[in-house]
Amino acid sequence: MTILTSTPWADLAVGQEAGTTRLCRAEDLYVFAHASGNLNPMHLPELDGDGDGRPEAVAPSAWVAALISGVLGNQLPGPGTLYLSQSLRFTGRAHAGETLAVGVRVAEKLPGGVVRLSVWVDGPAGRIAEGEATVQAPDAARRFDGVEVPGLTVQSHRHFDALLARAEPLPALPTLVVCPESPDAVMGAVMARDHTLIDPVFVGDPARIAAAAQEAGADIAGIEIVDVPDHRAAALRAVALIHEGRGRALMKGHLHTDQLLHAILKKEGGLRTNRRLSHVFVMDVPGLDHLLFVTDAAINIAPDLECKVSIVQNAIDLARALGLEQPKVGILSAVETVTASIPSTLDAAVLSKMAERGQITGGLVDGPLAMDNAVDPGAARTKGLTGLVAGRADILVAPNMEAGNMIAKELTFLAHAEAAGIVMGAQVPVILTSRADDDKARLASCAVAALYAESLR
């Protein structure tokens, strides 16, 4: 909270100064674009406004000028001040990532409570703006305690951008795409190919694939199509092609998930391992400074303890493949105490102990944890929870599929998270996408699979 005090006109003196510093963040440029409607690419991070091959991220001059109003309104003269005029000369530019110094100085007191001030803004390389402002100063000293404004969260999904940046230089992942016979399914695969994330082979009905590509406006020239019109047979054929060395990943197209999983789980000729299959959502949540993994939200309806061991280990392995050296795993329940009447708390306690004894490896595991004290350090402190996981979980393990699905969907539709996802526990990663996924989510799922497959090598 901020305490603000004002200096009335009568107490102002020529030469009196005030100032502040402000880091120009990429988020500031997005907020200004929303507030002003100015979508000039020169001012938007990640866009190349002048065609020189690199983003400019130039702070708009009006944003720089607004920093002066912050000093006038907060410090000198302070609360109660109202602008009459401002003139500025811009002699340089500010960019995202730079710290700016803003200053004002009383130059002249005029009749009627009016004050003229010299104003300036300095960047790392020197002065970038200077001029003067004329304001109506407050007529009495005022103090405001605990001034607050609502926080803002910019939905930039920078974690997925980083994933794509890491995955795109890798060799394209040979991927069997099963039945890409709808516009969204074929377009997702084509986009991933164009970003060099996957090297697709389509398995399905050529006529339906061609019609879907035409409807989507997708160029499928050069993509091999293995002609298998029946969906169940196409899934079996794709798995067989994995064994033939034709691919190192599977991608679900326009067929039922059960049909694909049936082919993967066949005892003879499938892609079983000693692990149970489980789905892991990899989520980029605005405002969260790390990726969040949610499991299992799509495959195991009511997992028992043995299944949960695989679910936890699969998620840890994926998180490590994406760059987390020692992922922190929160085993969720409704409460954070072991309670005999809530079976998921007993499973959580056992899983934590198994990790201590080395039966689950590669991560820190703690539970039971309620959702709040798994992700919020303040909530964890309130409940007296200590350790490295409480309040800081990277991986959330739901007690059952319904809970996991609700967590993931709530984060997506209420917190505006992007969600990628793959199935773990098979011999190769399995990319599952949804018709509701946008382009970035589809690309991120392929990037996750590519990074995991690379870690296996």
What is the distance between the alpha carbons of residues 120 and 19, in angstroms, rounded to a whole number? 9
Contact partners, residue 224, CB within 8 Å, separation at least 6: 201, 202
Q: How many CB atoms lie within 10 A of CB 342?
A: 16
pLDDT, one tens digit per residue, over 354-411 is: 999 999 999 999 989 999 999 999 999 999 998 899 999 999 999 999 999 999 999 9
Contact 118/105 with Cβ under 8 angstroms?
A: yes
Tell me the pairing of strands 395-397 and 364-369. Answer: unpaired
* Residue 41: DSSP 8-state: G
- Alpha carbon distances (Å) from 92 to 5, 52, 71, 100, 120: 32, 19, 20, 12, 12
Strands (E), 29-125: 82-90, 99-110, 114-123
- Token pair for residue 290? 């790390």
Residue type, 193: R
Q: Which CATH superfamily is domain 2-145 in?
A: Hotdog Thioesterase (3.10.129.10)
Distance CA 390, CA 371 (A): 10
Integer Cα distance of 43 and 451 in angstroms: 32
Q: Check: CB of residue 366 under 8 Å from CB of residue 330.
A: yes
CATH superfamily of 276-425: Isopropylmalate Dehydrogenase (3.40.718.10)
> Could you identify the residue written with the tokens 């130059």?
107
With residue 347 as reference, give the H or E element that holds it.
helix 343-356
Cβ atoms of 402 and 342 within 8 Å: the answer is no
Strand partners, 332: 369
pTM above 0.85, yes or no: no
Angle, CA of 8, 11 and 14, to the nearest 5°: 110
- How is domain 157-272+426-457 classified at the architecture level of CATH? 3-Layer(aba) Sandwich (3.40)
Domains in the chain: boundaries: 2-145, 157-272+426-457, 276-425
Asked if the bond preceding 368 is cis, omega within 30° of 0, the reply is: yes
Tens digit of pLDDT per residue, the chain (457 long)? Answer: 678 999 999 999 999 999 999 999 988 999 999 999 999 999 988 788 888 888 889 999 999 999 999 999 999 999 999 999 999 999 999 999 999 999 999 999 999 999 999 999 999 999 999 999 999 999 999 999 877 888 777 766 778 888 888 998 999 999 999 999 999 999 999 999 999 999 999 999 999 999 999 999 999 999 999 999 999 999 999 999 999 999 999 999 999 999 999 999 999 999 999 999 999 999 999 888 899 999 999 999 999 999 999 999 999 999 999 999 999 999 999 999 999 999 999 999 999 999 999 999 999 999 899 999 999 999 999 999 988 999 999 999 999 999 999 999 999 999 889 899 999 999 999 998 877 777 888 899 999 999 999 998 7
Tokens representing 335 are 């409460």
| Domain 276-425 in the same topology as domain 2-145 | no
Neighbours of 45 (CB within 10 A): 19
What does the pLDDT look like over 342-351, one tens digit per residue? 999 999 999 9
